[in-house]
Structure 1
Amino acid sequence: MTRHGLRRISSSRRFVLDGKPVLVSTSYLPAGLVAGSAITQEDTGPGGTYARLAELGYKPVHFREEIRCRMPSQEEATRLNLSLGTPVNMICRTAFADEGRPAEINEMVLNSASYILEYDFDA
């Protein structure tokens, strides 16, 4: 499966807080770059994916996020233990390395009742 030229290299992950699923996440990375690296392992090691990208010369230096509120798909509702009428937040984060090279696209689906999204920036 591809997303904006990046290949999905790992299965979705589900994050649980106090026994309740709150987020599912899927990462897409440059397949040729990460093939055979620790990024393709279930445990990517200290510092996670971004540390491994830095070791490969793709250190993220800029991020862009797109945020949407919507109803979950059947699969998302099942994985998050939600009814189909419960809204979710979808965050699509693109991590860029030097010279604007996309290093990762991460799609996160959040149980909207479990998160407060807060942003602080200058005008």
Structure 2
Amino acid sequence: MGTRLDSRPRHQQIAAELRAEIMSGDLKSGEQLPSTPHLVARFNAANATIQRALQSLKDEGFVRGHAGKGVFVRDRQPLVVNTSTYMSPDPRGYSYELLKVGQVAPPSDVAAAFTVSGEDLVVMRHRLLLHDGAPVELSWSYYPVSIAAGSPLAGRGRIRGGAPQVLADLGFPQHHFIDRISVRQPTETEVQELDLPPDVPVFRQFRVVYSDSERPVEVSVLIKGGHLYELSYHQTAD
């Protein structure tokens, strides 16, 4: 089997190398990056190519330039998503904007998860999650009309206690969920609404929440910028 060549533009290759060093801690928070002449020599690249690579890292929030001093690694920790929990609003900087609520025909994968026809309507809540005022996640949460109609899930108001509390009050407590995680390039809408830098992929979480008798009561699609997040998994030994 042949070796696949990296066909990306040179500035993307260089940015990838530096990004990996920052994420591994080899380039530490607050540390100054090597000078442009040093990077030119190291990567055997033109000055303009190095500048484009550094600009990509600035756009993604990995580094910051200081006039007359150089480029430094930003003191920024990734937003860690523990896949066993929901991202809940809290006073430390998380908030939601409710973008749309209504009854819609579900996407095919959502319909399959609910085992309903694609022609059947479901209640959808579409939201934007912000951290310190910056957009970090788009979400679409879907509920069977038979459960959600007439409940706070179908309204435009803020839900006290969140969807899990409403579902429990309706007699559908959440027992467990299954996440499928994938990575892809963003759509044009996702680039705009999440204010994504160029060439940044997104995480796609597809979550099915189950209640009594393994009944699916919620399906969510969550889109997160890949430059902001790490996914955390926990497993207990038998």
- Normalised to the residue count of structure 1, the TM-score between the two structures is 0.90
1: distance between equivalents of 2:121 and 2:228?
29
Q: Which has the higher helix share?
A: 2
Q: Which runs of 5+ in 1 are unaligned?
A: none
1: distance between equivalents of 2:225 and 2:160?
27
Q: Which has the higher strand share?
A: 1
1:12 counterpart SS class: strand
**What is the match of residue 126 of structure 2?**
12
Out of 107-116 and 10-19, give the one that drifted further.
10-19
Runs of 4+ with deviation above 4 angstroms: none
**1:10-57, CA deviations, whole angstroms, 9 ceiling, x for partnerless residues?**
341111112321100001101121101111122353211111111111
Identity within the alignment, %: 30
Out of 62-71 and 38-47, give the one that drifted further.
38-47
CA RMSD of aligned residues (A): 1.7
**1:87-115, CA deviations, whole angstroms, 9 ceiling, x for partnerless residues?**
00000111000111001001000011111
**What is the match of residue 73 of structure 1?**
187
Q: 1:63 to 1:97 in 2, by over 3 A?
A: same
Q: Which runs of 5+ in 2 are unaligned?
A: 1-104
Structure 1 counterpart of 2:153, from 20, 35, 39: 39
**What is the match of residue 29 of structure 1?**
143
Greater radius of gyration (CA): 2
- Counterpart of 1:80 in structure 2: which amino acid? L
Task: Check conservation: 2:138, 2:223, Cα contact below 8 A.
Answer: yes
1: distance between equivalents of 2:166 and 2:122?
16
Task: Check conservation: 2:125, 2:142, Cα contact below 8 A.
Answer: no
- How many equivalent residue pairs? 123
Q: Tell which has more relative contact order, 1 or 2 (C-alpha 8 A, sep 6+).
A: 1
2:128 counterpart SS class: strand
**What is the match of residue 117 of structure 1?**
231
Structure 1 counterpart of 2:164, from 50, 55, 69: 50
Q: 1:78 to 1:8 in 2, by over 3 A?
A: farther
1:117 counterpart SS class: strand
